[in-house]
Chain A
Amino acid sequence: DAKTTQPPSMDCAEGRAANLPCNHSTISGNEYVYWYRQIHSQGPQYIIHGLKNNETNEMASLIITEDRKSSTLILPHATLRDTAVYYCIVRAPLYQGGKLIFGQGTELSVKP
């Protein structure tokens, strides 16, 4: 199973863009990159996912490098409510169970 590497913590000023990096150098060609976040004592919340192309939704943007060995989650205008632990995950194909393998995540602190 592919593993991911993320910085343990990051700070971001309120209103600025938060760029969260992730390395997944052993990702397989059919594995997707998922991002979740978790606010203390709650279930993880889905943010975005991608395979090869960059993706954008109402919450964030996902930039995946051409070799797919790393990606960056971008929160364009961070707010205090974006303070959470962010997990970058490579998901196994559904025929292999589709399980999510969580690493330690990045604890993002958005400061006023």
Chain B
Amino acid sequence: DGGITQSPKYLFRKEGQNVTLSCEQNLNHDAMYWYRQDPGQGLRLIYYSQIVNDFQKGDIAEGYSVSREKKESFPLTVTSAQKNPTAFYLCASITTSGGANEQFFGPGTRLTVL
């Protein structure tokens, strides 16, 4: 089945540690996105990438980094510089060909900083 996978589902880290969240898609989509969601809130965009080896900051990029070395993969690193990293992280992808297209979301990773 085609889709987006995120791993792990739950992640715990100690304060001051960097951690990398995985996002893989086998939909052959060009663009990929990372969102953050806090309790009772909507999603906020962290980073997005429309093509391999290129990415742009979203609204809340500080304290995060990404890479896009392969079309299928868009890992997100939460660095120690992120002041409040505990949140639900969602990855999404979309094809950039054609007209309006739906954005597919992964199941999410819940990160808790201890």
Contacts and interface: CB of A to CB of B under 8 A. Distances in A.
Interface of A: 32, 34, 41-46, 49, 51, 87, 91, 94, 97-105
Contact of B90 (A34, A44, A46, A98): A44
Closest 10 CB pairs of A and B: A43-B105, A102-B42, A102-B43, A46-B102, A32-B100, A44-B105, A94-B96, A43-B107, A43-B108, A99-B45
Contact of A46 (B42, B50, B96, B103): B103
Contacts of B33: 99-100
By secondary structure, the B interface counts as strand
A103 to B, nearest CB: 5
A3 B48 CA distance: 19
B8 interface: no
Interface centre among B44, B88, B103, B104 (most CB of A within 10 A): B103
Contacts of B103: 34, 46, 91, 98, 100
A7 B96 CA distance: 32
Contacts of A100: 33, 43, 45, 92, 103
A91 B92 CA distance: 14
Contacts of B102: 34, 46, 49
Interface in B85-114: 88, 90, 92, 94, 96, 100, 102-108, 110
A106 B48 CA distance: 26
A105 B105 contact: no
Contact of B88 (A41, A46, A98): A41
Given A41-B110, A100-B43, 19 more contacts: A34-B103, A41-B88, A42-B108, A43-B4, A43-B90, A43-B106, A43-B107, A44-B43, A46-B103, A49-B102, A51-B100, A91-B103, A94-B31, A99-B58, A100-B33, A100-B45, A100-B92, A100-B103, A105-B42
Given A51-B100, A100-B103, A41 B108 contact: yes
